[in-house]
Homo-oligomer: A and B are copies of this chain.
Amino acid sequence: MTCKRFAIFLFLKTINYRNIMKKLAMGIDIGGTNTAFGLVDEDGTIFSESAISTEKYKKFDDYEAYIKTLCESMHALIGSVSFDFELIGIGIGAPNANYHTGMIEAPANLWKFRDDEPNPDESRRMFHFVDDIKASFPGVDVAITNDANAAAIGEMVFGNAKGMKDFVVITLGTGLGSGVVSNGELVYGHDGFAGEYGHITVDSRTYGRQCGCGRRGCLEAYASATGIKRTAFELMAKMSCDSELRETPYSKFEAVMLSLAADKKDPIALEAFRYTGEVLGKALADLVATTSPEAIILFGGLAKAGKYIFEPTKWYMEENMMATFKNKVKLLPSGIEGKNAAILGSSALIWQKQIK
């Protein structure tokens, strides 16, 4: 490059920097009840957000109407922003989402066949979600992954895993999800479905707890909001002590009741947390042997029980860990948790690429 050309290049660079436009990424979180979405900047500030019902469109035939409503609502949200900005991409977190193919594959609670469906072939329930969104946002980068992976990227970009190259996020909600980051990259695996740590077997006996996946004894049947509820009911049968927990039927019982009861030193609640921490801590010790993370972040509803779940989990994790790893791995709460954590996590799918 000659001196003259270099001067022109520098001049153009300067102009470019002076006129730089605000960049925002759209984050979409698809839940069984609602689909929330918002515009997020590089610092994790949400400038504008909205939601549509997912439940209203839960039948197979409703999928196209759902996509249409979602895209229209997103365009409306974009139109409502009062300043000019560049939409750098759309990141989506959804159950059964495949990062490699951009598809949502046979989700348990979304776009299901009606009971009178003449041909209920599950292989038809493969939704080209990324392509369908792209059709309405031509030229925009669109990426999808499952909720736990989105949470992991969210922690890496905006939360407690900033600057980490090797860590794990465990989501403790209705089920147990996991997002494993290694060498600064999410472990998607060959088929895009890696990170199903909720479905390792922790009780291989024939009478292990039934799991939603059709098998028995999976980790998530013990260590999740649903799992600890199941434990509490087992303990009501095993233990003879008084407990306010005995007043609520199974169908109305929520995991948060265990935190409230533990505050009052309810022995069943305390034992339920100890046992859950034992199962989870032992499973995490095994995960450490495999992936040797800098930190494990507990995310989601059950993690909000704080010390009740963190203390026993940490204790059993250390107790069962190989000496090489002892006292090296941090057990952390989420750094992005809040009502918008899922939107942040999904938008981070896009922001992550910008930061690299």
Q: Residues of A with Cβ closer than 8 Å to B?
A: 164-167, 178, 180, 182-183, 185, 187-197, 199-201, 204, 213-215, 282, 285-287, 289-294, 320, 322-325, 328-329
Contact = CB atoms under 8 A, between A and B. Distances in A.
A219 to B, nearest CB: 9
A188 B282 contact: no
B190 A166 contact: yes
30 contacts: A165-B190, A166-B187, A166-B188, A166-B189, A180-B290, A182-B194, A183-B183, A183-B188, A187-B187, A187-B292, A188-B292, A190-B292, A190-B294, A193-B324, A194-B291, A196-B289, A196-B322, A200-B290, A201-B282, A201-B285, A201-B286, A204-B282, A204-B320, A213-B322, A213-B323, A214-B323, A215-B320, A286-B286, A287-B290, A290-B291
A197 B286 CA distance: 8
Which of A164, A182, A320, A328 has most B Cβ within 10 Å? A182
Contact of A292 (B193, B286, B320): B193
A196 B292 CA distance: 9
Given A182-B185, A183-B185, A285-B201, A191 B325 contact: yes
A199 B289 contact: yes
Nearest to A322: B199
Nearest to A217: B320
A120 to B, nearest CB: 17
A53 to B, nearest CB: 28
Contacts of A329: 190
A193 B290 contact: no
Nearest to A168: B290
Which of A193, A197, A285 has most B Cβ within 10 Å? A193
A241 to B, nearest CB: 27
A91 to B, nearest CB: 19
A204 B325 CA distance: 18
Contacts of A289: 196-197, 199-200
Which of A192, A194, A197 has most B Cβ within 10 Å? A194
Nearest to A106: B324
A351 to B, nearest CB: 19
B200 A286 contact: yes
A275 to B, nearest CB: 13
A285 B167 CA distance: 22
Nearest to A164: B190
A59 to B, nearest CB: 23
B187 A183 contact: yes
A194 B286 contact: no
A324 B182 CA distance: 22
Contacts of A182: 182-183, 185, 187, 189, 194
A197 B213 CA distance: 24
A290 to B, nearest CB: 6
